[in-house]
């Protein structure tokens, strides 16, 4: 399945309680939509959350965001993954 990065813009930083509630809603939505989606990890900044998912398609990502009451301002399909060893040729 393709890998996606989802940008979730935030009007202000989330409290720990808000972050916990959002992660619980996300996990519940993943369970409802499984096996077509898997949450790998998320990176939280002051103004956004960047989530990495594996999903069957972009429509599943959007459905997950709807069910979890989460923004999905930008959905980007990862075309390739490289790391420092790639530079070694």
Rounded mean pLDDT, 30-34? 98
Query: Looking at 1-89, which runs of residues are DSSP E strands?
Result: 3-9, 37-44, 48-55, 74-77
Reported confidence tier of residue 89, pLDDT bands at 50, 70, 90: confident
Which among 35, 23, 36 is positioned nearest to 62, based on CA atoms? 36
Query: What is the reported pTM?
Result: 0.92
Question: How is the chain split into domains, by residue range?
Answer: 3-82
Task: Please state, in angstroms and rounded to a whole number, the distance separating the CA atoms of residues 59 and 15.
Answer: 29
- In the predicted model, is pLDDT for residue 27 greater than 90? yes
Q: Has domain 3-82 been given CATH number 3.40.50.1580? A: no
């Amino acid at each position: 399945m393709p890998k996606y990065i989802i940008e979730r813009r935030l009007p202000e930083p989330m409290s720990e309680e808000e972050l916990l509630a959002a992660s619980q809603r996300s996990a519940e939505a993943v369970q409802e939509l499984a096996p077509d989606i898997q949450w790998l990890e998320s990176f939280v900044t002051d103004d956004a959350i960047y989530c990495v998912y594996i999903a069957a398609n972009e429509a599943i990502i959007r459905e997950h965001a709807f069910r979890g009451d989460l923004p999905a301002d930008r959905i980007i399909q990862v075309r390739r993954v490289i790391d420092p060893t790639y530079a070694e040729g």
